């Protein structure tokens, strides 16, 4: 066989191989399913029970995350409330210590009542004590300290402490007819109840005398 014949045989063989490869590629392309992004192939390869289990687990994780976020918000809200209360009522103990000073100044003013003709010295002392008392009460007011003087008001066991009950025909039953000691509130929270005398109602049940 000559060299030309060998070259021709080799060329024919290469053409035959190329035709066979083309036929194989065409058949594989026709047999292959349409590509949908790989999702359908993955879902078909995973059992349905596993898919449902994974979805349930993902849902559980999401619910846990939402609960954790809600709990964190509650913790932050409670912390903010605690800080606010600490700021509002940090002076409560200090205010309690100052209340006897206010009581003493008021008693000093009351002791001069009915003695207007006693002389200039008594009048001067009364004026000075009244000015000091007013200054003191104004200072307490700047820190939201409110005085309770419930004379003539209905008895309130949440803010008043009844020292006694007395017949009082000219007063409303269960109303305050005398204030033995004034009460005080700090930021609308009771610091000390007002000690009062309450009008007794005829044929009425006795009220609770404790605040």
Q: What span, in angstroms and rounded, lies between the C-alpha atoms of 209 and 164?
A: 7
| 53-111 pLDDT, tens digit each | 888 888 888 888 888 888 888 888 888 777 777 777 788 889 999 999 999 999 998 88
Residues 160, 190 contacting (CB under 8 angstroms)? no
176 sits in which H/E element:
strand 176-181
pTM of the predicted model as reported, rounded to 2 decimal places = 0.57
Which SS3 state, helix, strand or coil, does residue 152 take?
coil
The ranges assigned to domains in the chain are 47-89, 91-143, 145-211
Once rounded to an integer, what is the mean pLDDT over residues 198-206? 71
How many residues in the chain? 211
Kindly write down the DSSP assignment for every residue of 12-51, as one continuous string. Answer: HHHHHHHHHHHHHHHHHHHHSPPPSTTHHHHHHHS-HHHH
The yes-or-no verdict on residue 208 having pLDDT over 80 is: no
Once rounded to an integer, what is the mean pLDDT over residues 151-173? 92
Instruction: Kindly state which CATH superfamily the domain 145-211 is placed in.
Output: Head domain of nucleotide exchange factor GrpE (2.30.22.10)
Once rounded to an integer, what is the mean pLDDT over residues 11-33? 58
Q: What span, in angstroms and rounded, lies between the C-alpha atoms of 67 and 86?
A: 28
């Amino acid at each position: 066989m000559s060299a030309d014949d060998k070259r021709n045989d080799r060329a024919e063989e290469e053409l035959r191989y190329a035709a066979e490869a083309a036929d194989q590629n065409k058949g594989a392309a026709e047999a292959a399913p349409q590509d949908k992004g790989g999702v359908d192939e993955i879902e078909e390869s995973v059992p349905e029970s596993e898919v449902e289990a994974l979805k349930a687990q993902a849902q559980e994780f999401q619910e846990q995350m939402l609960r954790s976020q809600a709990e964190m918000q509650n913790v932050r809200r409670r912390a903010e409330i605690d800080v606010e209360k600490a700021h509002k009522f940090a002076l409560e103990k200090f205010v309690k210590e100052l209340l006897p000073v206010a009581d003493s100044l008021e008693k000093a003013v009351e002791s001069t009542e009915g003695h207007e003709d006693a002389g200039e010295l008594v009048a001067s002392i009364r004026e000075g004590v009244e000015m000091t008392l007013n200054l003191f009460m104004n200072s307490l007011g700047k820190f939201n300290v409110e005085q309770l003087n419930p004379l003539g008001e209905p008895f309130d066991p949440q803010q008043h402490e009844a020292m006694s009950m007395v017949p009082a025909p000219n007063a409303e039953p269960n109303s305050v007819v005398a204030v033995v000691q004034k009460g005080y509130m700090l930021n609308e929270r009771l610091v000390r109840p007002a000690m009062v005398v309450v009008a007794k109602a005829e044929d009425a049940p006795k009220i609770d005398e404790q605040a």
